[in-house]
Structure 1
Amino acid sequence: MGGVKQKASWTYLIQLYEWDKPRGYFSTFTKLTDAHVLPSKINKMKVSCCAQVFGNSVGKFMQCLIDAESSVLPKEAEGTAKLFLFLNKLFDSFNGVNRAPSEENQLKCAISTSAHKVFWHEAISVITSMKFQERGTEKLSRPPSLKNWVWTIRGMQYIWDKLSANGWQYLIPRHFNQDAIENFFSCIRAHGVRNVNPMCTSFITSFKTLTLNNFCSPKSISANCEDDLSTGA
């Protein structure tokens, strides 16, 4: 990052969380729970948990404790704080809903003549250089999530280049998602109690029934996506 090799460790987040949690009413991270931080309890299917951990407040407070030379975190944790802040900016760049950027956040807005292109160029460089080290070994690996982040960034860059060339003035990235189709497939799987692997015939039958019933429910209770606000077929 910035031409400097950094190292981050989940251990520092656990240390910060265990120090902050007993403070009760004066706790800094009120949204964080064991399901966010402790590896044995992490809810891997909740994107909100991931976004709250890699948030601006966690990264900045971690850096403040390091700069203050407190006993909570060592100087070596600085790479972890920088990674958290970087991932927060990456999330924000794909989650903008307002057309114009705010003074506090230049990335959580529509893609137009904003800072997205500059940041994404830097982000691809950072992500492609990342490696994960297995605990207790020297083995390094690159999980699919890194490759897929690069695909996502380049894909959005390509789409925006095409749209802007055809006269589009801006694109709101938060509206660019597959929640609607995920909600639809959740309804298909829930039809008939447990229709988790439907054949073509049963899929068509479920589709017809759901259409007639006005899609029963907007989404599955355990769905990992927001309500798409659709009103029937």
Structure 2
Amino acid sequence: MEDALDSDGTSNSSITDEEDVSPGLTQPILNSRHFITPGVSKLIFDAIKKKSIPLQERLCVLLFNEIDLALHLDYLTKEDYIIGFEDTGWSRNKNVADTALVFMLRSIYGNWKQPVAFAFHDSPLNQKTLVRFIKTIAKETKNAGLNLIAMICTHADHNVETVDMLLEESKSVVLEGQEVVPIFDPSSLLLSTRNALSEAPLTFKKDGVLKTAKWEHLVKAHEIDRELSNCLTKITKSHLAPDSLSFTKCIQTLSGTFAGFLSTVAGKTGATLPPAATETAELLFFLDRVFDSLNGTMAENAEKPLRGPIRATSPHSKIWSEAKETFKDMDGKGGSWFGKWLRTLDAFEAIKSKMLALGYEAFPARSFHLEPLQNCFDLINEQAGNTPMENRLTCKKFSIFYNRALKAKDMAACRATEPICEPDGLKFLVTIEDLS
């Protein structure tokens, strides 16, 4: 990757143990495949400032997540530069990077998303550096005329610690004079719940009665369905693999449809699924309702109002209140994520209060997910190839694909062959034409 630039715009190619070389904003390197470099991109934020964006569509959230890289150094002949070391845009060191951390803005109401920063680092990125990224982006977002409402990340320990650090500083996360609500990605939380259930039984309470859900009930039910009914048309063997990284398959598995089949078959004469499988069905019904309440759109849904917009009078708050009581009593392997569910439900309640206070009658919960960023990761991984060692994603390849995405008008809407998430339907706000 190209060097970070000094404040006077000159290149600094030296690699030290840790050298701070700029305030965090990076300038472009012209006539290079690596046009956008590590750090917070001044070029992109300058282009956003020039955009005519309706007031409502200026409400946005900050997404950040990591993508794994292969340890590898490459010499860029044209730039006379070695790429593959840790690089935040304001500092480089001798550690070889194994991760790219990407920051993206997305509109709550508008049809746009926009990568605005990235860094190469040896995971996990230290909290001080992550906080610096967040604060710099918040400042540039405000200067560009956008209104930052929330920030969304996974519930990985280093992210939780960073959020807690920001909360410690101000009791609530206030960036550039704006209160920003931190949210742990609901899809990631659901995936952790699914994977924990696949490893060990999960206990929970319903109406004061202790219940137990077991993964083996889902596996057996799927076998019965394949032999007799074929009702679970979307469920394949890969859905029930012990570990999964697919959000789409996770949502399809922990669904009301699967729960209904479990309830119908469990304990029936001649069936091999025990009556206790109804307790597993109850957990699936519960998780399906909770996730619906955190994944709705602006489209009204009379049959399933939880999938519609969140309003002052919508049933979402009631579901969240009931769900918090259930999560408090839940017990299973690696159960630290139960507390993250509670924090996310509280965060959505805070978002609801904030949006109503701003004068908005309704908003879509789906705008507060990492999905748009994950879809970009899917596409980058697919372009790099993910099996032979020589085709693994490196810092050089990531840089090329990241820059290529901004050069193609339709790249944001492209879909990987086997995406982890559902399509988000968003376009990049800024393309290469806006940067020239």
Given the two structures, how large is their TM-score scaled by the length of structure 2?
Answer: 0.44
For residues 161 and 130 of structure 1, what CA distance do their matches in structure 2 show? 27
- Alignment correspondent of 1:55: 255
Alignment counterpart, residue 239 of structure 2, candidates 14, 36, 43: 36
Note the C-alpha offset of 1:121: 0.6
AA of the residue aligned to 2:252: Q
For residues 196 and 209 of structure 1, what CA distance do their matches in structure 2 show? 15
- Alignment correspondent of 1:224: 420
Residue correspondence of structure 1 range 3-42 to structure 2 within 5 A? 3-23=208-228, 26-39=229-242
Residue correspondence of structure 1 range 73-152 to structure 2 within 5 A? 73-102=273-302, 104-112=303-311, 113-132=313-332, 141-152=333-344
For residues 224 and 395 of structure 2, what CA distance do their matches in structure 1 show? 45
For residues 291 and 270 of structure 2, what CA distance do their matches in structure 1 show? 29
Q: What secondary structure, in the 3-state scheme, does the structure 2 residue paired with 1:149 have?
A: helix
User: Does the 8 A contact of 1:186 with 1:219 survive in 2?
Assistant: no
Note the C-alpha offset of 1:147: 2.7
Q: What secondary structure, in the 3-state scheme, does the structure 1 residue paired with 2:276 have?
A: helix
User: Does the 8 A contact of 1:99 with 1:170 survive in 2?
Assistant: no
**Within the alignment, does 1:2 sit opposite 2:207 as a pair?**
yes
User: Does the 8 A contact of 1:56 with 1:85 survive in 2?
Assistant: yes
> What is the total number of aligned residue pairs between the two structures?
216
Residue correspondence of structure 1 range 150-229 to structure 2 within 5 A? 150-184=342-376, 196-197=394-395, 210-214=405-409, 218=413, 221=416, 223-225=419-421, 226-229=423-426
Note the C-alpha offset of 1:52: 1.0
User: Does the 8 A contact of 1:130 with 1:142 survive in 2?
Assistant: no
Q: Structure 1 or 2: larger strand share?
A: 2
> Unmatched 5+ residue regions in structure 1?
133-140
Question: With CA pairs under 8 Å and 6+ residues apart, which has the higher RCO, 1 or 2?
Answer: 2
Please identify the structure whose Cα radius of gyration is greater: 2
For residues 315 and 208 of structure 2, what CA distance do their matches in structure 1 show? 20
AA of the residue aligned to 1:169: E
AA of the residue aligned to 2:234: K
Given the two structures, how large is their TM-score scaled by the length of structure 1?
Answer: 0.77
Change (3 A) 1:180 1:8: closer
Change (3 A) 1:194 1:161: same
User: Does the 8 A contact of 2:378 with 2:420 survive in 1?
Assistant: no
User: Does the 8 A contact of 2:412 with 2:427 survive in 1?
Assistant: no
User: Does the 8 A contact of 1:14 with 1:38 survive in 2?
Assistant: no
Q: What fraction of aligned residue pairs are identical, expressed as a percent?
A: 25
Q: Structure 1 or 2: larger helix share?
A: 1
Note the C-alpha offset of 1:125: 1.1
Q: What secondary structure, in the 3-state scheme, does the structure 2 residue paired with 1:5 have?
A: strand
RMSD: 3.1
Note the C-alpha offset of 1:166: 2.2
